[in-house]
Structures are given as structure tokens and as C-alpha cells.
Structure 1
Amino acid sequence: MSIFSLMSFGSEGWGLAMVFAAGVTLSVAACGFLIGSVIGSLIAWVKLSGGVMARGAADAYTTVLRGIPDLLVIYLFYFGGSAVLSSIAGLFGPGGFVGVSGFAAGAAAIGIISGAYQSEVFRGAYTALNRGEIEAAKSVGMHRALMFRRIIAPQVLRYAIPGLGNVWQLALKESALVSVTGLVELLRQSAIGAGSTRQPFSFYLAAAVLYLAITTVSSWGFRRAETYAMRGVRRA
């Protein structure tokens, strides 16, 4: 069969399965990225305004997560989470294995990894702020919550968008590693199709095209967001 026949949406084609798997890839990457945004924001805040011990713990978190392989983190979440759930289940009845879903383990692992990178993006964006605006807000009696909502958060996001775009691309690539948990995302679906039809090149080529399509649209979206955020700002 030709690659066009294999990737068709008919009864004999794999097109629908590949598109659905691409949707799973997007979902797990998006969930992980959102989790990472929350974690990254908190870690950046701790690094900027926390105590000595808190800053040390935050530095240790980013150093460890950026220093160990992403696949190892996914394994730790998947098998470690399953071990914890099995132990908890054993307290309420007969022992047995309780597995963590591949999606949950993958999203959590990507979120923890992404959070380490996003924390540095947010911290760098905050240090780029004009201190005069912050001092002016304090001088007029603006309380911290209002100052954060009107001045700090919008400008930090403005400067962070390019870096967040890079972290999002990393999250998309990391989603391919989640296939080791059995989650049928794009790479796993390609392997299944390749094994069933014995045409691996066609399936992996189709997966590459889908990945490139996702990253191209994502890059366009982040560029538009950056352009919108920088409206009215004079560039050097």
C-alpha cells in the first residue's frame, strides 16, 4: 500500500488513528505545560523573594530536574506512583497492583520537568522589568496584589513569551517519551501501525509530518502572541 492509502480516512486507512493520537500528544503536552506554568511561577517567586533555605530548595529543584534524563523522570512517576497507589490500596483490602494511568504520569512528569525551565524563564523576565515602574506603583500606595495584577504580571508575561515558546516545543518533544507508559500517543500509534503493516517508514514519516505541523502552528501562535504583547513598545 502507498503512504496515501495507509494514511487515508477510510476503513483500511490509519489516518483517523494517527490524527487521534496527535490529539493525545497535544493534550498530554498541554496539560504538562500548564502544570509546569504553575510550578514555574511558584519557583520563580521563591527564588526572587524567598528566604535562604527556600531559595536553596528552589535552586536544587531546578538543578536536579534539568540534570537528569526526562525519560527517567517519567519512569519514576509511572512506577513510583503505581507503587504508592498499590501500597495505599493494600491498607484497605487485599493487596494488588494499582497502576497510574499513562496520561496522568506523563502529564505530571512533563509538568515537573517543564516547571524547572519555566521558572528560569519567569525569573529572567522579572529581572528585565523597569524598576522605575515598580517604585512608582509603591510610591502611590498601590498594594502588592494590585501591583502584581496591573504591572508585574502583564510585563513578565510579555518578556516571557519567547522563552515559553521554546519550553512548549520541549514539552511536545517530551510527550513522545510518554509512549513507554503504554499511552497511545503519536509515536506509540506509529509503532503500532508500523508493526501491523510492516511499513515503518510510512508511519514514522507521517508522524514527523504531524509533529512538524503541530510545532509550526505553535510557533506561529507564539509569534502572534509576542507581537500582540509587544504592541506599543519601542524596540531597539
Structure 2
Amino acid sequence: MFDKLALLGFGDGGWGLALLQGAGITIAIALATLPFGLLLGLIVALGKRSENIVLRWLATVYTTVFRGVPELLTLYIIYFGIQIVLQQAWISLGLPGNFSMPPFVAGMVALGVVLSAFSSEVWVGALNSIQKGQREAAAALGLSKGQAFRLVVFPQLIRVALPGLGNNWMVLLKETSLVSVITLPDIMFITTRANVATKEPFLFFGAAMLIYLFFSLISAWGVGRLEIRANRGFATFGGATR
């Protein structure tokens, strides 16, 4: 029993350091993907609420595609497909050497576009909850549309959207395991290699489960704190927020 646990240690023959580095890669790609995906999702949401029918159509097609296609397939298309296209463009421009998309960038882009498709629905729901009078009042005060959105709409938007975005983050955290298929050394990549080398699947996959669970618990606590902070100054009376 103790011999098996030693495989998780940091000494000779232990995989502890590799698992720690894999956990760092997992958190790094999740944190890199989050702002990219949420910002793109907000842009898509604004497109879906645009008065321009073309923008609304493009935003709807975007969310339909990336919500309907499996995340793993999206990852393969971006890592292999987009890389081939860019390589051909690289050659056609006569540039020296070869173009190679780093796995980290491919993973971030793939997870980011999927996150943006799902988070756009959260943003749309939050935008619909902001009364039109808020913007009209901002315009009456002489604020531009950009200033009204930044100073009046966005602070309220975050408060309403935060629970849904928190769920998106939790899903993203688990979906980072997909990047192991493009040889990015995250938790799943390291545990799979450790299993092959030691023939101890229960030990290493169990360790991976505990690491993901730890990240999820910390995330749930953090999102809860953010929700409390975002709702400061708002009180609920009889089911209505004032």
C-alpha cells in the first residue's frame, strides 16, 4: 500500500512533481481561456441583440455551431485543420521555416470559442434583464452609448450574469482535460502516462479526480464570494430585487 502511495511522492520514481506541473498547466489554460471566451461571448451576445439582421444571423449561426459540435471535434479542427490552412498560407507567402500552432494556443482557442457560445446565452439573458429605461436615463445625462454601457449597464450585467458564468467556469475547468489529446501535458496527460508506466490506473486516475475536485471546490467558494460582493447594496423584498 505504502509502496503504491510512494508513486505519488516527489522522490525517485515518484510522479508528484509531474502531477503538480500538470495541475499548473490545467489551471493556466483555464485562466487563459476564461477572459477570451467571456469577452467573445459578450460580443456574440451583443450581436444577437443587434438591430442589424446580418449580425443577428451570424451570431445565431455561431452559437448553434459551437454549441452543437462536440468540444473534442472543435479542438481537432482548430489544432489540425486551422494549422494546415495557416501552414499553406505561410508557404504561399514565401516565409522561411514551418508554421506550427502551439498546443496551448490551440487548446485555448478551441475551449474559448465553445465557452463563448455557451456564455453568450448567459450574457443575452442578463442583457434582457436590464430595463431600457436605464439606457435612456444614461442618455439623458449626456453619456455616450459606450459610457452608458461601461458605467451603467455593465455593473448590473455582471451581477445578473455571474451565477451562469460561474457554471460556465466550472464546465470549462473540467473540459480542459480534452487538451491532453493534443499532447499538452495537463493533469490527464500526466496521469495517463503514469498509468502506462506503472500499471496503476486506480491510483493515478483517483489522484486526478481529487485534484479536479479540489479545483472545483475552490472555484465554487470563489464564485460564491464574488456573488456576495456583486450583490452588495441589493436587497430582496418579497421576491423582488430593489
Same fold (TM over 0.5): yes
Q: CA offsets, 1:176-229, max 9 Å, x none?
A: 111111111110100011111111110000000000001110111111001000
Correspondence for 1:233: 234
Unaligned stretches of 5+ residues in structure 2: none
Aligned residue for 1:232, secondary structure, equals: coil
User: Against the structure 1 CA distance between its residues 144 and 3, is the aligned structure 2 distance closer, same or farther, given a 3 Å change threshold?
Assistant: farther
Aligned residue for 1:141, secondary structure, equals: coil
Correspondence for 2:111: 110
Residue 142, structure 1, aligned to residue 146, structure 2: no
More off after superposition, 33-42 vs 68-77:
33-42
Correspondence for 2:204: 203
Number of matched pairs: 235
Task: In structure 2, give the amino acid aligned to 1:25.
Answer: T
Aligned residue for 2:130, secondary structure, equals: coil
Q: CA offsets, 1:68-125, max 9 Å, x none?
A: 111000000010122123213323268x864322111110000010000111111111
User: Against the structure 1 CA distance between its residues 7 and 50, is the aligned structure 2 distance closer, same or farther, given a 3 Å change threshold?
Assistant: farther
The CA RMSD over aligned residues, in Å, is 1.7
Task: State the shift of 1:3 in Å.
Answer: 4.4
User: Against the structure 1 CA distance between its residues 150 and 187, is the aligned structure 2 distance closer, same or farther, given a 3 Å change threshold?
Assistant: same
Correspondence for 1:128: 129
8 Å Cα contact 2:134-2:153 kept in structure 1:
no
Task: In structure 2, give the amino acid aligned to 1:222.
Answer: V
Correspondence for 2:188: 187
User: Against the structure 1 CA distance between its residues 112 and 143, is the aligned structure 2 distance closer, same or farther, given a 3 Å change threshold?
Assistant: same
Identity of matched residues, % = 37
CA distance in 2, matches of 1:105, 1:18: 22
CA distance in 2, matches of 1:3, 1:131: 62
8 Å Cα contact 1:48-1:123 kept in structure 2:
yes
Q: How does 1:1-236 map to 2 (within 5 A)?
A: 2-91=3-92, 92=94, 98-235=99-236, 236=239
Unaligned stretches of 5+ residues in structure 1: none
Q: Which runs of 4+ in 1 moved over 4 A?
A: none
Task: In structure 2, give the amino acid aligned to 1:208.
Answer: M
Task: State the shift of 1:17 in Å.
Answer: 0.9
CA distance in 1, matches of 2:63, 2:95: 39
Q: CA offsets, 1:114-172, max 9 Å, x none?
A: 00011111111111123333332222322222211211011101111111111111111
CA distance in 2, matches of 1:89, 1:126: 41
